[in-house]
Amino acid sequence: MENAHARTAEECLAFFGVSEGVGLSPEQVSLEKYGKKWDFLGFFWVKNGMFGEIFWVKNWIFLGFFCDFFYFFGIFWGIFWIFWGIFWEFFGDFLGGFFWNF
């Protein structure tokens, strides 16, 4: 709600759909506490299976780690297959019965 300080109490109560005797619903409370669902630009949550707690982590930290991991993993995976091809080119004939013949 914008400019809440400039509005009357009745306008604020009507905006949230509450009265002085009835407060926020559980959905409204969780929305206020945790933000909108699927808010990918804000925080991202991981649920801990043991305790059921919700931990909040910045998106860019998680995604940066995730992308870095697969970037370096891809480099090493490619290097492995290059050396495997060289190895098989030179020693494949000698090891034909030991490994599958590609």
d(CA 36, CA 15): 17
pTM for this entry: 0.29
Mean predicted confidence (pLDDT) in 39-59: 48
Domain boundaries, given as residue ranges, for the chain: 1-34, 35-102
Other beta carbons within 10 angstroms of residue 6's beta carbon come to 7
Label residue 89 by pLDDT band (50, 70, 90).
confident
Residue 48 reports pLDDT greater than 50 = no
d(CA 91, CA 97): 12
Mean predicted confidence (pLDDT) in 82-101: 73
Residue 38 reports pLDDT greater than 60 = no
Helix (H) or strand (E) holding 48: none
Looking at residue 22, its pLDDT comes to 78
d(CA 72, CA 68): 6
